[in-house]
């Protein structure tokens, strides 16, 4: 039994320092990309340790449709459809999938110019296996994934992912939500966002009881947030965590 988390990106939507918040989870032979930041292949390449590329991502979970979480999906899908011809699988809630093609991908991916000069029309199913998440446990190879809606502008899902006896959580984007944090805190380790505006203020997390903060790592933090002096431990890009 093994469960490894590689921190692909820690930044927010406006970061000039990092890749956008995203993780690579590896459990017993199953690899799951958690959110797809723009310039995905470059982010994968930058990970220390075993080298990863677009061909190594067979499963991707998309938490919601903001560009910093979904902007790398087009690159992944184009590569897998046209270059290596091995489709990957997209896992997301029905609410996210409802708009993924129509509002994020269709404009650049629907029409394909053929050598004959004719135009072919493609749909999301031509690019990927699409699996809507159900309530409760979802099996993704060796991993088991549960999700919970967060408080955000658009439908967004936080997740807990289990491999064997170990569990990891990820808040995705959310306003402060004590119930969500308690749900995530059942994990051995969980990543929680913090940022400005409708996001979770750092002070709200700092004020939590120690048992809820003990296994928390900050992610999606603003560039100005200094990990070295952070009151709660920060996820660091390129970090490899063995659960």
Site string for Zn ion, 47-66 (x = CB under 5 A): -------------------x
* Beta carbon of residue 152, minimum distance to Zn ion (angstroms, whole number): 6
CA distance 74 to 109: 8
* Beta carbon of residue 86, minimum distance to Zn ion (angstroms, whole number): 29
CA distance 161 to 171: 12
Q: Give Rg (Cα) of the chain.
A: 18
Is residue 7 within 8 Å of 27, Cβ to Cβ? no
Give the residue from 38, 53, 128 showing the smallest Cα distance to 88.
128
Site string for Zn ion, 65-84 (x = CB under 5 A): -x------------------
Please, which residue, 66 or 192, has the CB nearer to Zn ion? 66
Residue numbers 25-44 binding Zn ion by CB under 5 A = none
For residues 4-24, one letter each, b for 16 or more C-beta atoms within 10 angstroms of the residue's C-beta and e for the rest, the string is: bbbbbbbbbbebeebbbbbbb
* Beta carbon of residue 137, minimum distance to Zn ion (angstroms, whole number): 25
Q: Which of 26, 35, 74, 173 binds Zn ion (CB under 5 A)?
A: 173
Name the residue with tokens 């629907």: 110
* Beta carbon of residue 173, minimum distance to Zn ion (angstroms, whole number): 4
- Residue 11 in tokens: 């930044």
Stretch touching Zn ion by CB under 5 A, among 88-96, 102-110, 168-176, 197-205: 168-176
* Beta carbon of residue 69, minimum distance to Zn ion (angstroms, whole number): 6
Please, which residue, 30 or 175, has the CB nearer to Zn ion? 175
* Beta carbon of residue 183, minimum distance to Zn ion (angstroms, whole number): 19
For residue 104, state whether it binds Zn ion (rule: CB under 5 A).
no
Stretch touching Zn ion by CB under 5 A, among 70-78, 107-115, 141-149, 165-173: 165-173
Residues in touch with Zn ion (CB under 5 A): 66, 173
């Amino acid at each position: 039994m093994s469960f490894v988390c590689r921190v692909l990106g820690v930044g927010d939507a406006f970061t000039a320092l990092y890749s956008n918040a995203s993780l690579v989870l590896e459990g017993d032979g199953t690899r799951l990309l958690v959110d797809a930041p723009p310039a995905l292949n470059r982010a994968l390449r930058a990970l220390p340790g075993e080298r990863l590329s677009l061909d190594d991502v067979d499963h991707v979970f998309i938490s919601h449709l903001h560009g910093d979480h979904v902007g790398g999906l087009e690159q992944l899908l184009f590569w897998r459809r046209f270059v290596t011809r091995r489709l990957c699988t997209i896992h997301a809630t029905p609410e996210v999938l409802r708009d993924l093609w129509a509002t994020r991908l269709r404009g650049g991916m629907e029409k394909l110019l053929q050598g004959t000069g004719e135009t072919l029309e493609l749909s999301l199913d031509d690019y990927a296996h699409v699996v809507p998440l159900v309530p409760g446990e979802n099996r993704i190879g060796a991993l088991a994934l549960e999700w919970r809606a967060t408080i955000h502008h658009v439908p967004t899902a936080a997740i807990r992912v289990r491999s064997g006896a170990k569990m990891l959580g990820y808040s995705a984007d959310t306003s402060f939500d004590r119930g969500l944090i308690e749900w995530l805190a059942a994990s051995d380790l969980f990543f929680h966002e913090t940022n400005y505006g409708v996001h979770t203020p750092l002070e709200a997390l700092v004020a939590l009881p120690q048992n809820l903060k003990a296994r928390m790592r900050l992610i999606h933090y603003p560039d100005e947030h200094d990990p070295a002096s952070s009151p709660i431990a920060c996820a660091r890009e390129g970090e490899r965590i063995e659960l």
